[in-house]
Amino acid sequence: MQLIYAEGAASYANVLDEYACRSGTGAGAAQGPRTRTQCNVSGDRPTIYSTQTLIAGNPELKEEEGQSWGAGFVWDITDTMSASVDYYRIKLEDAASQFSNDYLLQTEAACRPGSYSDGTAPPTQAVCDNVYTLITRENSPGAPTDQRVQKINSAYINTALTDTSGIDATYRWNYDTDRYGTFTTDLGLYAGTDQQVQAGRG
């Protein structure tokens, strides 16, 4: 509930307004469209300025949903020897993650024009819509500050599907001796995958 309704705390920091930089609008209108690298060059950098960061709840956050299942067997080979194999799979949808100002502004700049600065495809529309709600821009047509970033809510957003699966195998052998007691040998094997299908770009 706190991730959704928390009132939050505010601070100020310099950010690179990548959308203004690449589109040549707002703070970047005087220079026209430029690359992210060009906008980071020291000197005249109007698209780098101070803005408010608010760490607060995100009303658009969806509940994480998970599914898991497993199966296995135990084989008593002899009275002193046994083996077991277990398989499991765990899926977590709409995993909640928190990202930096730079990540959010890069993602916004990919969503609006339709690609990242390196030409790769933007995130899904659902992620883009969520990011838009976290960035507040000034709406003052004709003013020098029009379309400047007023506030960034560095809240948790739904970003990914995590799919984890694996196999656990064990082998046990007990050897009884009359004089020295019982010796036990345990062998274990684990093989698994942790595949994260990211809706946004990490």
153-193 pLDDT, tens digit per residue, is 887 777 667 788 899 999 999 988 877 888 899 999 888 77
Which amino acid is it at 102? D
Which one, of 14, 80, 70, lies nearest residue 47 by Cα? 14
Q: pLDDT tier at 135 (50, 70, 90 boundaries)?
A: very high
Q: pLDDT tier at 71 (50, 70, 90 boundaries)?
A: very high
pLDDT of residue 87: 94
Quick check: pTM over 0.85?
no
pLDDT of residue 173: 93
Residue 202: pLDDT above 50? no
Q: pLDDT tier at 48 (50, 70, 90 boundaries)?
A: very high
Tell me the β-bridge partners of 183: 175
pLDDT of residue 107: 92
Cβ(157)–Cβ(107) below 8 Å: no
Q: 136: alpha, beta or left, given left = phi > 0 and alpha = psi -120 to 50?
A: beta
What is the C-alpha separation between 128 and 104, in angstroms, rounded? 10
pLDDT of residue 182: 83
**Which backbone phi and psi does 115 adopt, to 5 degrees?**
-165, 160
Task: Please state at what angle helix 125-134 crosses helix 101-111, rounded to 10 degrees.
Answer: 130
Residue 196: pLDDT above 70? no
Structure-token pair, residue 129: 């819509």
Residue 86: pLDDT above 80? yes
| Residue with the larger pLDDT of the pair 74 and 62 | 74
- How do beta strands 81-98 and 65-78 pair? antiparallel
Coil/strand/helix, residue 15: strand
pLDDT of residue 178: 78
Q: Is 71 exposed, middle or buried (0-12, 13-18, 19+ CB in 10 A)?
A: exposed
Structure-token pair, residue 57: 């709840």
CA dihedral for 141, 145, 146, 150, sign (positive or negative): negative
Which amino acid is it at 29? A
pLDDT of residue 158: 73
Token pair 């469209």 is found at: 33
pLDDT of residue 108: 95
Mean pLDDT of 190-199: 65
